[in-house]
């Protein structure tokens, strides 16, 4: 090919790839196979490498990710990325509309649009080219996440016109379908599930390796013009609606389902419509935004100390539905605890079909008088976990039955005992040979907080047990590639990866091993505290209740559980086998410094340079404690970007709030 033909082919490939990317990532309606798409992409990569003179910053090859950063640089917003005042009732919304009308001396026109539950960002364009992107941060300073934003297919790398300077604001979100696929895969791998699409999107956008972000298939809706001029029909856009229409023409994906309305009743009607339709939406929506449409009129209303006076966000209450409790299943956990789970008549709730909900324990059921056959109100706690709020006793017809815990274990048939720990609400199978406990125990052993064996999820564990390859966690260290590659849905490469992950887990140290053993009452924090104090696994075999109670935060119940566990001959056999296979049984961390001794920290929001797990690790190594909830006993709340209700509670209780820099200063 001559140069003209090369240039034409490159342009053709770029157009085809962008078109098919939109069909695949945004519309979820691909018209070509992955093989065809990959072939076009590889051809474009090869041509751009061979003819660098035709390279372009807006080429789709710039979206693949691969830039690994040590940390994100700070980015100062030239126009503040403010937040909105929340309203929670139509009375409050009516007051807002009336106040605006009175201030303007006329009936105002509002843009009413969905409030996407995601992460707010600013995108900067120079001469039509995307050059920089940053998170909201505190509204004034955010983090430069340009490389990660480039992986989002719905962000145009080059606008359809070379606008000299433009800054737009948008909401990065994770489509529900993508979120469901990610969580399903994590469940199969035995990894902790993401709480909701918003948290998953926020974590994905802040990955230091943009390849990870690219895999998460994030999307964006643009909802505001921050800087620059947008012209329509030869004049500057005079309204918010005109600006969004113009941005759509330039190639942005702007907010859907928005309407320009006058009068409270019209505004209320569309807010109600958005609330009713959000369950069937492709994205999570936690409210509706009502903002003055005329841009010049906004200056008349002005801004408050932290929020504009010309806009509010109406927040929807958690959605609740009525359905039928059909039956109750019993799940046997890794420690033998029997957990009742409700089987429900399927109901659509917060965007997904719900057919099961946890019932926690017998006390929970009895206190709420929940019976099989009841009509029940169900909702999603935190918009993700289904729970039964209450039973509707006035709807009973006499056919309902009172639930009773089984007398024998549904997994092994052993007689069930009432747990003496805590409030006595739990029932437990005491058999050490219970298949359900054994499988869940191995999954726990391999979990992220324990030995962190990547790829060893529940399905793989079940296969290995069913095929007779393993009986307990120590057998994992006897597995060979040929033992695994013949299993269903496995293969040579998967088998090699799993064997390598098992080998790597040998060096986790006593801190992780102690938690991995699954001793009742011993969580991650307690396991680490005990390991740092006792130093060796052998020391735990001779430890007394009194010695263990002398360890910080270890009470008598936990101490007795540990002593009883290590007094069992089967424990000695298991630990001896683990040691013989090369599993490290000594603590690897140095004894904690006392820099933060006696202080309790709560972490909230997204920190600038490290994850909350990393910050927790530093605090604990310095002798401090990390709690998941704010109370009067909390010493400090460490708040990052997009901090939530924990920050509000800290302010209400008068708990000192610090940022990451202050924490690092305390750590020295």
More confidently predicted of 611 and 516: 516
Please check the confidence at residue 330 and state whether its pLDDT lies above 70: yes
Confidence check: pLDDT of 397 > 90: yes
Q: Which of 58-72, 260-274, 506-520 has the lowest mean pLDDT?
A: 58-72
Spatial distance between the Cα atoms of 311 and 666, rounded to a whole number of angstroms: 40
Query: What SS3 class is residue 30?
Result: coil
Distance, in Å, from the CA atom of 543 to the CA atom of 168, rounded to the nearest integer, reads 62
Average per-residue pLDDT in the chain?
87
Beta strands in 203-336 (DSSP E): 219-227, 231-232, 235-236, 259-262, 285-292, 311-315, 320-332
Paired residues of 222 in beta bridges? 170, 254
Which token pair is 146? 């340009």
Tell me the mean pLDDT in the region 421-439.
Answer: 78
- Structure-block tokens of residue 443: 């999954």
| pLDDT value of position 54 | 86
Percent of the chain residues topping a pLDDT of 70: 93
Question: 435-580 adopts what CATH topology?
Answer: DNA polymerase; domain 1 (1.10.150)
Are 400 and 372 spatial neighbours (Cβ–Cβ below 8 Å)? yes
Question: In the prediction, which pLDDT does 309 show?
Answer: 93
In this predicted model, what pLDDT tens digit does every residue of 297-313 receive, in sequence order? Answer: 999 999 876 689 999 99
The CATH homologous superfamily to which domain 85-315 belongs is DNA ligase/mRNA capping enzyme (3.30.470.30)
Pick the more confident residue, 11 or 252: 252
Q: Is the pLDDT of residue 517 over 90?
A: yes
Catalytic residue among 115, 380, 620, 625: 115
Residue 28 has pLDDT above 70, yes or no: no
The answer for residues whose C-beta is within 8 angstroms of residue 479's C-beta and 6 or more apart is 464, 469, 470, 498, 499, 502
- CB 115 within 8 Å of CB 105: no
Does the structure show a pLDDT above 50 at 334? yes
CA dihedral 218, 219, 225, 227 (to 10 degrees): 40
Question: Treating both helix axes as pointing N-terminal to C-terminal, what angle do 176-188 and 458-466 enclose, rounded to 10 degrees?
Answer: 30
Count of alpha carbons within 13 angstroms of residue 233, beta-carbon side: 4
Q: Hey, which CATH number is domain 3-63, 3.40.50.261, 1.10.287.610, 1.20.1440.120, 1.10.3720.10?
A: 1.10.287.610
Nearest residue to 158 (alpha-carbon basis) of 240, 56, 261, 77: 56
Beta pairing, strands 427-428 & 371-372: unpaired
pLDDT at 66 over 50: no
How distant, in Å, are the alpha carbons of 47, 129, 544 from that of 8? 11, 21, 79
User: For the segment 583-622, what is each residue's pLDDT rounded down to a tens digit?
Assistant: 999 998 776 667 888 889 999 888 877 888 788 888 887 8
Please state which of the four CATH numbers 3.50.50.60, 3.60.150.10, 3.40.50.10190, 3.40.50.300 is assigned to the domain occupying 600-667.
Answer: 3.40.50.10190
| Burial of residue 73, with CB atoms counted within 10 A of its CB: 0-12 exposed, 13-18 middle, 19 or more buried | exposed
**What angle do helix axes 34-50 and 3-21 make, rounded to 10 degrees?**
140
Domain ranges in the chain are: 3-63, 85-315, 320-418, 435-580, 600-667
Is residue 250 predicted with pLDDT exceeding 90? yes
115 in catalytic set: yes
Rounded to the nearest 5 percent, the helix, strand and coil shares of the chain are: 40, 25, 35
Residue 65: is its pLDDT beyond 50? no
153-162, 542-551, 566-575, 613-622: least confidently modelled range: 613-622
Decide: helix, strand or coil at residue 80.
Answer: coil
Instruction: Tell me if 65 sits within 8 A of 210, measured CB to CB.
Output: yes
Instruction: Look at residues 463, 446, 438 and name the one whose alpha carbon lies nearest to residue 334.
Output: 438
Segment 232-245, tens digit of pLDDT = 777 889 999 999 99
Q: Where are the beta strands (DSSP E) in 437-564?
A: none
Would the pTM of this model clear 0.85, i.e. be above it?
A: no
pLDDT confidence of residue 68: 46
Class in CATH terms, 320-418: mainly beta
pLDDT at residue 30, as a whole number: 61
pLDDT at 422 over 60: no
| Percent of the chain whose predicted confidence (pLDDT) is above 90 | 47
Closest C-alpha among 104, 98, 106 to residue 301: 104
Instruction: Say yes or no to pLDDT of 67 above 50.
Output: no
* Beta strand extents in 333-483 (DSSP E only): 337-349, 352-358, 371-372, 375-381, 385-391, 401-402, 417-418, 427-428
Instruction: Report yes or no: 347 and 321 within 8 Å, Cβ to Cβ.
Output: yes
């Amino acid at each position: 090919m001559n140069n003209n033909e090369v240039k034409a082919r490159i342009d053709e490939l770029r157009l085809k790839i962008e078109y098919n990317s939109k069909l695949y990532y945004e519309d979820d309606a691909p018209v070509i196979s992955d093989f065809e798409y990959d072939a076009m992409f590889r051809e474009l990569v090869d041509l751009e490498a061979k003819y660098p003179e035709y390279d372009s910053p807006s080429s789709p090859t710039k979206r693949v990710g691969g830039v690994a950063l040590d940390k994100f640089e700070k980015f100062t917003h030239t126009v503040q990325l403010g937040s909105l005042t929340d309203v929670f009732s139509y009375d409050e919304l009516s007051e807002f509309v009336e106040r605006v009308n009175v201030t303007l001396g006329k009936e105002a026109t509002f843009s009413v649009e969905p409030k996407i539950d995601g992460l707010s960002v600013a995108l900067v364009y120079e001469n039509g080219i995307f050059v920089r992107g940053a998170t909201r941060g505190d509204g004034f300073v955010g983090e430069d996440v340009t490389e990660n934003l480039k992986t989002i297919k719905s962000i145009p790398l080059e606008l359809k016109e070379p606008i000299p300077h433009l800054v737009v604001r948008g909401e990065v979100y994770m489509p529900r379908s993508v979120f469901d696929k990610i969580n399903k895969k994590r469940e199969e791998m035995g990894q902790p599930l993401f709480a909701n699409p918003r948290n998953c999107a926020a974590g994905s956008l802040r990955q230091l390796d943009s390849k990870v972000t690219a895999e998460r298939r994030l999307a964006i809706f643009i909802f505001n013009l921050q800087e620059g001029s947008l012209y329509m029909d030869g004049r500057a856009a005079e309204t918010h609606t005109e600006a969004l229409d113009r941005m759509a023409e330039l190639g942005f994906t702007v907010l859907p389902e928005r309407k320009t309305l006058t009068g409270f009743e019209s505004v209320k009607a569309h807010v109600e419509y958005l609330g009713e339709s959000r369950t069937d939406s492709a994205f999570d929506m936690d409210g509706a935004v009502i903002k003055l449409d005329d841009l010049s009129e906004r200056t008349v209303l002005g801004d408050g100390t932290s929020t504009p006076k010309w806009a509010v966000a109406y927040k929807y209450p958690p959605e609740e539905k009525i359905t039928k409790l059909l039956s109750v299943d019993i799940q046997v956990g890794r420690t033998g605890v029997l957990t009742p789970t409700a089987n429900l008549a399927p109901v659509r709730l917060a965007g997904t079909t719900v057919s099961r909900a946890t019932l926690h324990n017998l006390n929970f059921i009895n206190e709420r008088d929940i019976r099989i056959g009841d009509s029940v109100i169900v909702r999603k706690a935190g918009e993700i976990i289904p729970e039964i709020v209450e039973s509707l006793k006035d709807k009973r017809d006499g056919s309902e039955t009172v639930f009773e815990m089984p007398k024998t274990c549904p997994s092994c048939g052993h007689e069930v005992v009432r747990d003496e720990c805590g409030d006595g609400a739990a029932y437990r199978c005491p058999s050490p040979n219970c298949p359900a406990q054994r499988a869940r125990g191995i999954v726990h052993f391999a979990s992220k907080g324990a030995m962190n064996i990547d790829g060893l999820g529940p399905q793989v564990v079940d296969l290995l047990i069913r095929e007779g390859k393993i009986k307990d966690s120590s057998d994992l260290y006897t597995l060979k590639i040929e033992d695994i590659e013949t299993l269903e849905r496995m293969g040579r490469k998967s088998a090699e990866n799993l064997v390598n992950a098992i080998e790597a887990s040998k060096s986790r140290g006593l801190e992780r091993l102690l938690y991995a053993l699954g001793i009742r009452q011993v969580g991650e924090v307690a396991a680490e505290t005990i390991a740092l104090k006792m130093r060796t696994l052998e020391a735990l075999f001779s430890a007394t209740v009194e010695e263990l109670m002398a360890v910080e935060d270890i009470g008598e119940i936990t101490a007795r559980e540990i002593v009883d566990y290590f007094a069992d001959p089967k424990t000695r056999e298991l630990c001896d086998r683990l040691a013989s296979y090369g599993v490290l049984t000594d603590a690897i961390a140095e004894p904690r410094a006392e820099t933060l001794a006696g202080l309790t920290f709560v972490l909230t929001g997204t920190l600038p340079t490290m994850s909350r797990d990393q910050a927790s690790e530093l605090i604990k190594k310095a002798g401090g404690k990390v709690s998941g909830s704010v109370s009067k006993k909390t010493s400090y709340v460490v708040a990052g970007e997009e901090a939530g209700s924990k920050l509000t509670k800290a302010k209400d209780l008068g708990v000192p709030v610090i940022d990451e820099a202050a924490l690092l200063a305390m750590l020295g």
